[in-house]
A and B are shown apart, each in its own frame.
Chain A
Amino acid sequence: MVDQDIRAQYRIYKLSDNEQVKSFDCGDADLNDFILNDALLYRKEKLAVTYVYMNKDNSDDIAAFFCLANDRISLADFETKSRYNRFSRRFANPKRLKSYPAAKIGRLGVAAAMKGKEIGSTLIDFIKNFFLVDNKTGCRFITVDAYAEAVPFYVKNGFVPLNDDDIDERTRLLYFDLKDLEIE
């Protein structure tokens, strides 16, 4: 849990479709590029929503951000993708998929100056409970497109890799089952 001083100083703020983050540095150029340039495009196209953890008195002081999008986890009744594709080509509307609703953490970054203060884990707790108690449509899983170096952080927070296909890629897909939040 973040300490009292940070909690007193910062707030969660949902960015509107025309608000632009002007400065942010988490130490990763790609993640910085996302929040400074691309996040606005995702919001304008209604593809994702961005939230910042910002100073209550100074909106330029952003301790962290995350963006959320609708997602789903689908299971095919086939052994391989190629078998599924062959089947799909033969039938106009193949109903051989099982899908579960999910919300995706597209990106999450903590400012370099604020690392080591449990802000990332606190935001993850917030997101989990947000979809558990304030869910409007049904959501079973939280998925995340995590940078490879952040995978241990997500595993520590209860996430599991979706499969091993992206094990050597720059980002990996992991998921968290919101049913895990039920107390025994």
Chain B
Amino acid sequence: MARPIKETPILYGEDARRFEERMHEHRHISAEEKARIQANYEALKATANF
């Protein structure tokens, strides 16, 4: 039996505050990176069975 997939823990205190702060920061990716992600997705999706 392999190691089980770990549950995502509830965040408390400083961890929760840091998480929310990061959520509201803007870290948008570049147009080039977005295009690469889109191209990889479309190439793989075109071959998918779902």
Contact at A1–B39, with CB atoms within 8 Å? yes
Question: Closest A-chain residue to B38, C-beta based?
Answer: A129
Q: Which residues of B contact A14 (CB under 8 A)?
A: 48-50
Which residues 20-39 of B have a CB within 8 angstroms of A? 20, 22-23, 26-31, 34, 36-39
CA A171 – CA B44 in complex, angstroms? 28
Total interface residues on B, using CB and 8 Å?
37
* Interface check A74, CB cutoff 8 A: yes
Contact at B12–A78, with CB atoms within 8 Å? yes
Q: Which residues of A contact B9 (CB under 8 A)?
A: 162-163, 165, 173
Which residues 41-83 of A have a CB within 8 angstroms of B? 42, 48, 53, 56, 67, 69, 71-76, 78-81, 83
Question: Closest A-chain residue to B47, C-beta based?
Answer: A11
Q: Which residues of A contact B34 (CB under 8 A)?
A: 181, 183
Contact at A162–B11, with CB atoms within 8 Å? yes
CA A145 – CA B4 in complex, angstroms? 10
Q: Which residues of A contact B5 (CB under 8 A)?
A: 42, 48, 67, 69, 104, 106-107, 145
**Which of B's residues lie within 8 Å of A, judged by CB?**
1-3, 5-6, 8-13, 15-16, 19-20, 22-23, 26-31, 34, 36-41, 43-45, 47-50
**Which of A's residues lie within 8 Å of B, judged by CB?**
1, 7, 10-14, 30-31, 33-34, 37-38, 42, 48, 53, 56, 67, 69, 71-76, 78-81, 83-84, 97, 102, 104, 106-107, 122-123, 125-126, 128-130, 133, 143, 145, 158, 160, 162-163, 165-166, 170-171, 173, 177, 179-184
